[in-house]
């Protein structure tokens, strides 16, 4: 039994990195506690424990007399074993905590071990980690044994060991994926200036090259889109817009709203908002489905962006019909009598339809259409 204890001690010391003295002190302390309970020692009696490092023999002394009890010998061996197991577990927990606490903010890779109570439990090899429901992407569905990458968000100490928390929802996860896939970002030649994300749907990322010979967008896209495709695949099909960052706010906002074509941008630097004017056929493209494109562009640039068509601006500014070149008071009244009372009403019809209005012929109708275009172009 003594040699077995020594062998285990040596293994724990070298393989688990626990100092020999720490183990011996822990065994002595546990044995002393067990001896007091077993022998029912009162306050007047002196009890001590001795452990021989060379032989592994454990000796108990009561008032300087050795206790020779087969029962206590079994208790001593069992206690030593329990202490060693506890120390091994404690050392492993400490080792895991020390290893992962310095990796917060990096990407970890593992396989889905199980799904329970809304959590995704990932097997990292040395430890298990969890992706809480709040850090999962709603549209993603996970399968047992599936390989996943996730951002290490936090490492907490608990009575049951380190609690490793991951995220696939944060913007930083996408940033780290780009660092992983794009050497120019990892090396610092290309930098990520800003990122805006609606997880599972779409991400806009603004990049800038420190080297004029390196195209920031091209580096992120990769040959035939290989680099960005790898990231899209990891994000299970999430769309990614790579935007070229620019120090000029107007150029930057223009890039952020791409592929929509913009007519004009008016900046209010005091309120930090931007009025973006587009042609009518570019309005839905600039705003995006459910406002997503302009919303992400606002988040990315830090500017509150309001996208309007020229027709909307003309209507909002309440331009009178008489202000349209080619429309006099009589013509304006004829238009109103026919139901065309505003700029908005007129933008919805063509010259052919206007020509049918009482008192307006084909020639006047064309003048009205041309005049309306002129007014709108000045918006």
| Spatial CB neighbours of 22, under 8 Å, sequence gap ≥ 6 | 87
- 113 and 131 in contact (C-beta within 8 Å)? no
Tell which phi-psi region holds residue 4, choosing left (phi > 0), alpha (psi between -120 and 50) or beta: alpha
Q: What is the mean pLDDT of residues 239-245?
A: 97
Q: Quote the pLDDT of residue 317.
A: 64
Last residue of a domain, one of 52, 71, 101: 101
Q: Quote the pLDDT of residue 53.
A: 76
Distance CA 262, CA 218 (A): 23
The CATH number of whichever domain residue 19 belongs to comes to 3.30.1480.10
Q: Quote the pLDDT of residue 70.
A: 63
Whether 73 shows a pLDDT value over 70: the answer reads no
Q: Quote the pLDDT of residue 66.
A: 80
Q: Quote the pLDDT of residue 49.
A: 80
Whether 217 shows a pLDDT value over 90: the answer reads yes
The domain of 77 spans 2-101
Pairing between strand 119-123 and 107-116? Answer: antiparallel
User: Confidence band (pLDDT; 50, 70, 90) for 379?
Assistant: low
Last residue of a domain, one of 101, 128, 160: 101
Specify the range with the lowest mean pLDDT, choosing from 9-18, 29-38, 72-81, 88-97: 72-81
Global pTM reads 0.69
Coil, helix or strand at residue 62: strand
Looking at the fold, whether 271 and 361 belong to one and the same domain comes out as: no
- What angle, rounded to 10 degrees, do the helices at 292-301 and 249-256 form? 150
- Residues 208-232 as b/e (b if ≥16 CB within 10 A, e otherwise) read bbeeeeeebbebbbeeeeebbeebb
The larger pLDDT score, comparing residue 239 to residue 313, is at: 239
Strand partners, 123: 111, 128
Q: Quote the pLDDT of residue 350.
A: 79
In angstroms, the Cα distances linking 154 to 92, 101, 165, 235 are 18, 7, 5, 21
Q: Quote the pLDDT of residue 315.
A: 66
Q: What is the mean pLDDT of residues 104-116?
A: 94
The CATH number of whichever domain residue 277 belongs to comes to 3.30.300.20
Looking at the fold, whether 111 and 227 belong to one and the same domain comes out as: no
**C-alpha torsion sign, points 64, 65, 68, 71:** negative
The larger pLDDT score, comparing residue 310 to residue 112, is at: 112
Q: What is the mean pLDDT of residues 164-170?
A: 96
Q: What is the mean pLDDT of residues 216-232?
A: 96
The CATH number of whichever domain residue 333 belongs to comes to 1.10.150.20
Looking at the fold, whether 228 and 351 belong to one and the same domain comes out as: no
């Amino acid at each position: 039994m003594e040699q077995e204890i020594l062998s285990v001690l040596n293994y724990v010391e070298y393989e688990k990195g626990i100092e020999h003295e720490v183990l011996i002190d822990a065994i002595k302390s546990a044995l002393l506690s067990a001896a007091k309970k077993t022998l029912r020692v009162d306050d007047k009696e002196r009890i001590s424990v001795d452990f021989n490092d060379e032989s592994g023999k454990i000796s108990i002394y009561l008032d300087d007399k050795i206790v020779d009890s087969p029962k206590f010998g079994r208790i001593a061996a069992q206690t030593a074993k329990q202490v060693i197991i506890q120390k091994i577990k404690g050392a492993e927990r400490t080792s895991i905590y020390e290893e992962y606490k310095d990796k917060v903010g990096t990407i970890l890779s593992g396989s889905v071990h199980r799904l329970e109570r809304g959590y995704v439990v990932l097997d990292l090899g040395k430890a298990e980690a969890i992706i809480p429901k709040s850090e999962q992407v709603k549209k993603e569905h996970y399968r047992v044994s599936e390989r996943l990458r996730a951002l290490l968000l936090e490492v907490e100490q608990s009575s049951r060991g380190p609690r490793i928390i991951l995220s696939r929802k944060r913007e930083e996860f996408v940033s780290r994926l780009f660092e992983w896939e794009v050497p120019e970002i990892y090396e610092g030649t290309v930098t990520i200036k800003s990122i805006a994300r609606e997880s599972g749907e779409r991400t806009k990322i603004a990049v800038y090259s420190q080297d004029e010979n390196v195209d920031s967008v091209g580096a992120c896209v990769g040959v035939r889109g290989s680099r960005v495709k790898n990231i899209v695949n990891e994000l299970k099909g999430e769309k990614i817009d790579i935007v070229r960052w620019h120090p000029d706010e107007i150029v930057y906002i223009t890039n952020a709203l791409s592929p929509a074509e913009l007519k004009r941008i008016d900046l209010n630097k005091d309120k930090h908002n931007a009025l973006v004017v587009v042609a009518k056929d570019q309005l839905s493209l600039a705003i995006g489905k459910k406002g997503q494109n302009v919303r992400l562009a606002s988040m990315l640039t830090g500017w509150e962006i309001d996208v309007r068509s020229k027709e909307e601006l003309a209507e909002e500014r309440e331009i009178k019909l008489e202000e349209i070149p080619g429309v006099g008071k009589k013509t304006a009244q004829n238009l109103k009598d026919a139901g065309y009372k505003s700029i908005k009403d007129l933008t919805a019809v063509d010259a052919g339809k206007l020509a049918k209005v009482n008192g307006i012929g084909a020639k006047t109708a064309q003048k009205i259409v041309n005049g309306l275009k002129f007014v709108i172009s000045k918006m």
